[in-house]
Structure 1
Amino acid sequence: MNPSPSIATTALGTDSTILAVQALTCRFGGLVAVNQVSFSIQEHEIFGLIGPNGAGKTTLFNLITGLIPPSSGQLLYRGQVITKLPPRPSCSQGDCPYLSKYPLVW
């Protein structure tokens, strides 16, 4: 059983929700890598994701960026559903510097 990652946030300003993650789940066969994760990130908020090896942090980030599709759940960017968008359109909505390190994705 994988421990769940811890989610920590510090709000610098809570103008509006930029990213909402709703009950996001990712399964690889019988392994549940991310299980029903939900959180929202407000504009001007600093957001941190911590956890031990194998907790699903990288998988969660890959789900959010669109590198891997979720098994269930929903992602919203400024209120628009981006769950099924490929990486390029969803990242054109905002910054995704992580993806610039992986040109083969494009």
Structure 2
Amino acid sequence: MRDEENYGDLARLFAAEDTALEAQPFTDGVMKRVRRERAVRRLTVGSFGFLGAVIAVLQLPQLLSAFVGVDHTVTTALTEAQVELTTAAASNPIWLAIIAGAALTMAAVSLTERA
């Protein structure tokens, strides 16, 4: 059909239209969505990972005190460490910076995980 003289103009029109449409805008649109979903996934994994770590640290003294034969000094030291950390953070802002640095480090590790 393309070889016939009657349809030559139509074939040239379709060929020109095909070359005018580029794949890059479509590819950019798809990749934008993929990048957005990856960013949301990283944020979700990082935030839930950090939240889980905080909950685990807060539950550690109760967990250790439930085991038979665990030394009382370990559970006391963990409880006192939580109180001292809170007191140190309230009295000296540098401890808040240290805590924030640790949190950012954990966030960076979870954000740079490979898919």
When normalised by structure 1's length, the TM-score is 0.21
Which has the larger Rg? Answer: 2
The answer to which structure has the higher strand fraction is 1
Give the number of the structure whose residues are more often helix, by fraction.
Answer: 2
